[in-house]
Structure formats: C-alpha cells, structure tokens
C-alpha cells in the first residue's frame, strides 16, 4: 500500500497506451467483411481496450461494478426530496442483489462490490465492504465538506480497491455510487472544474421540485462563497466541496490508470470524479471509457472536457452504475464482431 505522497509521485510517470496493439486492432477491424469504420464507437472502444491491455486479443470477460455509498450533510439545506435513510437502505438492496443495477448486472454477467465510504448509518450487512471515512461529510455551506486528510484517505481507498480488483482477476472496472445529496456536491465540483455558472450545471437529481432546485443552486453558491475553493487545486476542491463517494471514485480512476486497468464512467457523479482524477493525473484519461451521457446538465460538458464520447444516450440518471453496466453488452457485441466476423479476403472481396 502506497501513501498519498507516493501516489502523486507514481502518477507523475506517464504511462501511454500500447500503439502497436492499437494498430493491430485497427487493422483487424479494417480486414472484416463490412464497411470500414461502420461500427463507429464500438470499434474505437475495442481499439482503446487493445491499447490499455497491450494486446489486440481484447478480453473483458470478468468485470465488476464498484458502488461507492456515502451521505452528505448539505442535505440540511433542503437540496433533496428523498429521506436520508435511503442511502443505507439502497446499499443493502444492492448488496442483496435486489436493486436496479443488480437486475441489469445479472443480464450483463457481472459481479457487484458495494462499499460503505461514509453513510450516516452503517448498515449491518455482511455483503458491504466497510471503508468508512466518517458518518457522512459536513455541510459544505458552513465550511469544508471534509478535511484534507479525509479526502486523501478516501482517494487512497479507491486506489487500493482498484488494486484489489486487478489482483482478483477482473478485466474491467465499472463505477457506480449511491448517496442522497451527491448531485449537489457533484454540481458544485462541476461548476468549479469547468468554470461554469452554478445554474447551468445543476439539475433536479432524484426528481427535485422547482423550489428544491432553487435551494440546491443557492446552497452550491453559498458553499463556493464560504469555502473559496481553488479551481487549480483538485485536493482543495475535493475537501471543500466533495463527498466520500466522489473522492473514492477519483481514486478508482487513478488506481485503474496505475494498474493499466480500463475504468467505465457511469453518470454525473462518476464523471465528475473522472474529471477530478485528470486534474491529479492528466494521462489517467487514457484508461477511461464513457458509458452514457447522463440527463444531468453538467454531463455533456464534462465528457467533452474529457474528450470522451458516450456509447449510450438514453436520458438515464439513476446512478448505482446502471448506465455503465448497460454499456457492457454493447461492448460485448462489438467484441463478438471483432473476433468472429469473416474477413473480406476470405469471401473474395
């Protein structure tokens, strides 16, 4: 296990994708009996995976969504219409295999790891990994959401979990989260990272009313005014405006890059975490794949900033990793064509 300072040192050593493997994968696509480039992003994803894995024989047989669960005391500002008990309840359902993402994951043939990063109430459930930093973050409208040390611990937890998943033989990581109030923290970070007005990046989350949306915008504006986060310092942004789920997912993206591990972005919360990760380590973007474009207002701007195109545009905003899991069967179909389609030469073309 490395320390935070060691992590920063490791991230300073850029790791590039394998150009030969990508060239070979592109050549394979061009040999197949179909119009060149006709599968669009599915072809690009396979080529990128080849570069990440260092081999044109791409494999994503064993995959795992990691659902990071935590709560945020900015809920006191009336930024959500859902009761705060729902995070622990949903985390239990996920661990039991009974939530939305579990049903989708069963179809996609993937395992799920549920992690308590800092829910208000720790669930008594053996299937949930205990990586708690604290019982939720502080109310960011009154001061920093967490200390700098807590932010570092949460990041390192994500890095370590990525290492564990790699050691367990997984080929690809899928990001997910559960936490009431986390679209508020995500929108606050998106506003600061992108340099955009709060109103333009803040959405309704889990069905917020008009009045609730006004309170949400005002809470984010107040948090930025009270904390004066430095947009050039990702750790400063994270500890003042973030959540334990975002911090740990940021660590997952960083850990994935260090392990040479593809990591799939889900919706707004994981997209913000991915963007934050690139502020720590720009080349971490090479190991990211975009699954879908969330219906939240900031989603498109974040993906554009990351120079990533989503496989799916379905207006999803559920979280839990559902969008990322939904993209896996598309990747499977692309890989099936890549491996099994006859070549043009073989049919005399």
| Catalytic sites, residue numbers | 320
SS3 140: coil
Alpha carbon 84 to its chain's center: 22
CA-based nearest residue to 37, from 349, 337, 261: 337
Q: What's the CA gap between 33 and 345, in Å, rounded?
A: 8
- Which H/E stretch holds residue 157? helix 148-167
**Per-residue three-class SS string for 182-235:** HHHHHHHHHHHHHCCCHHHHCCCCCCCCHHHHHHHHHHHHHHHHHHCCCCCCHH
CB contact burial 40-55 (16+ within 10 A = b; e otherwise): ebbbbbbbbbbbbbee
CB contact burial 259-272 (16+ within 10 A = b; e otherwise): bbbbbbbbbbbbbb
Length of the chain (residues): 349
Q: What's the CA gap between 186 and 273, in Å, rounded?
A: 8
């Amino acid at each position: 296990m490395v320390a935070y300072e060691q992590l920063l040192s490791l991230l300073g050593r850029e790791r590039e994708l394998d150009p030969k493997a990508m060239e070979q994968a592109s050549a394979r696509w061009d040999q197949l009996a179909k119009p060149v480039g006709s599968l669009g992003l599915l072809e690009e994803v396979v080529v990128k995976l080849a570069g990440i894995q260092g081999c044109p024989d791409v494999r994503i047989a064993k995959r795992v969504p990691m659902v990071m669960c935590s709560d945020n005391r900015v809920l006191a500002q009336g930024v959500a219409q859902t009761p705060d008990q729902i995070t622990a309840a949903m985390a239990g359902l996920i661990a039991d295999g009974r939530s939305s993402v579990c049903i989708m994951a069963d179809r996609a043939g993937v395992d799920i790891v549920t992690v308590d990063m800092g829910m208000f109430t720790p669930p008594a459930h053996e299937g949930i990994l205990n990586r708690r930093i604290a019982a939720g973050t502080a109310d960011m409208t009154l001061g920093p959401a967490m200390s700098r040390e807590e932010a570092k611990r949460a990041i390192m937890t994500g890095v370590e979990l990525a290492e564990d998943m790699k050691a367990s033989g997984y080929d690809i990581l899928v990001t997910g989260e559960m936490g009431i109030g986390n679209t508020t923290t995500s929108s606050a970070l998106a506003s600061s990272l992108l340099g955009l007005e709060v109103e333009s990046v803040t959405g309704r989350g889990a069905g917020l009313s008009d009045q609730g949306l006004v309170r949400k915008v005002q809470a984010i504006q107040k948090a930025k005014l009270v904390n004066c986060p430095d947009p050039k310092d990702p750790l400063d942004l994270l500890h003042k405006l973030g959540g334990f789920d975002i911090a740990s997912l940021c660590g997952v993206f960083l850990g994935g890059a260090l392990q040479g591990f593809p990591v799939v972005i889900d919706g707004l919360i994981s997209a913000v975490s991915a963007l934050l990760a690139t502020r720590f380590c720009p080349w971490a973007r090479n190991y990211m794949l975009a699954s879908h474009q969330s219906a939240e207002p900031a989603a498109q701007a974040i993906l554009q900033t990351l120079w990533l195109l989503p496989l799916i545009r379905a207006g999803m905003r559920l979280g839990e990793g559902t969008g990322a899991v939904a993209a896996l069967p598309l990747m499977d179909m692309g890989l099936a064509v890549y491996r099994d389609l006859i070549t043009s030469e073989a049919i005399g073309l």
